[in-house]
Amino acid sequence: MRPFTNLIPFEDAKRIVLENVKPIEDVEEVNLLDALGRVLAEDIISPINVPPFARAAEDGYAVRAEDTYGAGQYAPKEFKLVGEINTGEYKEIKVGKGECIRIATGAMLPEGADAVVRVEDTEEDGNIVRVYRPVHPGFDVAPEGEDIKKGEKILAKGTILNPPKIGALAAMGIAKVKVYRRPKIAVLPSGNELMVPGEKIEKGKIYDVNTYTISSVIRENGGEPIIFPFVIDDKEDIENKLMESLKYDMVVFSGGSSVGDRDMLIDVVSKHAKILFHGVQIKPGKPTWCARGDKLIFGMPGFPASCLNDSYQFLGPAVRKMARLPPKKERVVKARMARRITSTLGRMQFFTVHLKDGYAYPAYKTSGAITSLADSDGYIIIPANSDLVEKDEEIEVHLWGD
Amino acid sequence: MRPFTNLIPFEDAKRIVLENVKPIEDVEEVNLLDALGRVLAEDIISPINVPPFARAAEDGYAVRAEDTYGAGQYAPKEFKLVGEINTGEYKEIKVGKGECIRIATGAMLPEGADAVVRVEDTEEDGNIVRVYRPVHPGFDVAPEGEDIKKGEKILAKGTILNPPKIGALAAMGIAKVKVYRRPKIAVLPSGNELMVPGEKIEKGKIYDVNTYTISSVIRENGGEPIIFPFVIDDKEDIENKLMESLKYDMVVFSGGSSVGDRDMLIDVVSKHAKILFHGVQIKPGKPTWCARGDKLIFGMPGFPASCLNDSYQFLGPAVRKMARLPPKKERVVKARMARRITSTLGRMQFFTVHLKDGYAYPAYKTSGAITSLADSDGYIIIPANSDLVEKDEEIEVHLWGD
Q: Give CA–CA dist A219/A320, Å, rounded.
A: 10
Average pLDDT over residues B196-212: 96
Query: What average pLDDT score do residues B177-192 get?
Result: 96
CA A378 remoteness from chain centre:
21
Report the distance separating Cα A347 and Cα A288, nearest Å: 13
Cβ–Cβ under 8 Å, residues B32 and B166: yes
Cα B254 to Cα B269: distance, rounded to the nearest angstrom: 13
Report CA A296 to chain centroid distance, whole Å. 22
**pLDDT value for A1:** 47
Residue A231, helix vs strand vs coil:
strand
Fold of A332-399: Beta-clip (2.40.340)
The matching CATH number, chosen from 3.40.50.2300, 3.40.50.460, 2.40.340.10, 3.40.50.300, for B331-399 is: 2.40.340.10
Phi, psi of A46 (to 5 degrees): -70, 130
The confidence score (pLDDT) of residue B349 equals 93
Question: Which of A33, A170, A374 lies at the smallest CB-CB distance from B167?
Answer: A374
DSSP strand E in A305-392: where?
332-337, 341-342, 348-356, 359-362, 378-382, 388-389
Model confidence pLDDT, tens digit, residues B76-134: 999 999 999 999 999 999 999 999 999 999 999 999 999 999 999 999 999 999 999 99
CA atoms within 13 A on the CB side of B191: 32
**Domain A55-142 is in which class?**
mainly beta
CB A198 within 8 A of CB B173: yes
Of A52, A89, A331, the CB nearest to B201: A52
Contact at CB, A207 and B368, closer than 8 angstroms: no
Say yes or no for a CB contact (<8 Å) between A204 and B88. yes
The CATH fold assigned to A10-25+182-323 is Molybdenum Cofactor Biosythetic Enzyme; Chain A (3.40.980)
CATH class of A27-50+150-180: alpha beta
Confidence (pLDDT) at B1:
47
Residues of A in contact with B223 (CB under 8 A): none
Which residue of chain B is at minimal alpha-carbon distance from A38? Answer: B402
| pLDDT value of residue A373 | 84
Domain B27-50+146-180 fold is Molybdopterin biosynthesis moea protein, domain 2 (3.90.105)
| Integer CA distances (angstroms), A25 to A43, A97, A181, B340, in order | 15, 60, 8, 43
Q: What is the pLDDT of residues A356-375, one digit of tens each?
A: 999 999 998 777 788 888 88
pTM: 0.94
Q: Which pLDDT value is given to residue A261?
A: 76
What pLDDT was estimated at residue B365?
80
The C-alpha atoms of residue B289 and residue B286 are separated, in whole angstroms, by 9
Q: Nearest C-alpha of chain B: how many angstroms from A278?
A: 19
Residue B228 has pLDDT above 80, yes or no: yes
By CA distance, what is B328's nearest residue in A? A402
pLDDT digits (tens, 9 = 90+) for A235-266: 999 999 999 999 999 999 998 656 777 788 99
Residue B79's pLDDT is what? 98
Q: Give residue A371's pLDDT.
A: 86
Cβ-Cβ contacts under 8 Å between A and B: the total is 319
pLDDT beyond 80 at A111: yes
For residues A268-287, average pLDDT: 94
Where in chain A do CATH 2.40.340.10 domains reside? 332-399
Percent of chain B with pLDDT over 70: 98
Residue A100: CB atoms within 10 A of its CB come to: 30
Cβ distance A207 to B167 less than 8 Å, yes or no, reads no
What angle in degrees, to the nearest 10, is found between the helix axes of B210-220 and B316-323?
40
- Choose the weakest-confidence range: A116-120, A153-157, A343-347, B180-184: A343-347
Give the CA distances from residue B225 to residues A28, B27, B214, in Å, rounded to whole numbers and listed in that order: 23, 18, 8
Q: Where in chain B is the domain with CATH 3.40.980.10?
A: 10-25+182-323
Residues B8-61 have pLDDT tens digits of: 999 999 999 999 999 999 999 999 999 999 999 999 999 999 999 999 999 999
Number of other residues whose CB lies within 10 A of the CB of residue A236:
9
Helix A163-171 × helix B210-220 angle, to 10°: 160
pLDDT digits (tens, 9 = 90+) for B287-330: 999 999 989 999 999 999 999 999 999 999 999 999 999 999 88
| B167 vs A88, A154, A209: nearest CB | A209
**Residues forming a β-bridge with A125:** A128
pLDDT score for A206: 95
Nearest chain B Cα distance for residue A122, angstroms = 13
- Host H or E run for residue B269: helix B259-272
Residue type, position B33, single letter: L
Chain-chain contact of A261 with B369 (C-beta, under 8 angstroms): no
Q: Residue A206 is nearest to which of B52, B302, B402, comparing CB atoms? A: B52
- d(CA A214, nearest CA chain B) in Å: 8
How many angstroms separate the CA of residue A269 from the nearest CA in chain B? 21
State the average pLDDT over residues B177-206: 96
Interface pTM, i.e. ipTM: 0.94
Find chain B residues with C-beta within 8 A of A209's C-beta. 167, 170-171
Residue B310 near residue B303 (C-beta atoms within 8 A):
no
Residue ranges matching CATH 2.170.190.11 in chain A: 55-142
Is-contact B339 B360, C-beta < 8 A?
no
Q: Give the DSSP letter of residue B120.
A: G
For B355, the 3-state DSSP assignment is strand
Question: Are A147 and B50 an interchain contact pair (Cβ–Cβ within 8 Å)?
Answer: no
Q: Do B257 and A87 touch (CB under 8 A)?
A: yes
Contact B371 A107 (CB under 8 A): no
For residue A213, what are the contacts with CB-CB under 8 A and spacing of at least 6? A304, A307, A308, A311, A370, B163, B164, B166, B167, B170
Please state, rounded to an integer, the average pLDDT across all residues of chain A. 94
Round to whole Å and give the CA distance between A301 and A283.
11
Is the pLDDT at B217 greater than 60, yes or no?
yes
Contact A120 B1 (CB under 8 A): yes
Provide the strand spans (E) within B204-347.
Answer: 206-207, 224-227, 250-254, 274-278, 282-283, 289-292, 296-300, 331-337, 341-342
Cis, bond preceding B52 (omega within 30 deg of 0): no
> Chain B partners of A376 at a C-beta cutoff of 8 Å?
164
Question: Residue A58 phi/psi, 5° resolution?
Answer: -145, 165
**Taking CB atoms and an 8 Å cutoff, what residues of chain A touch B369?**
146-147
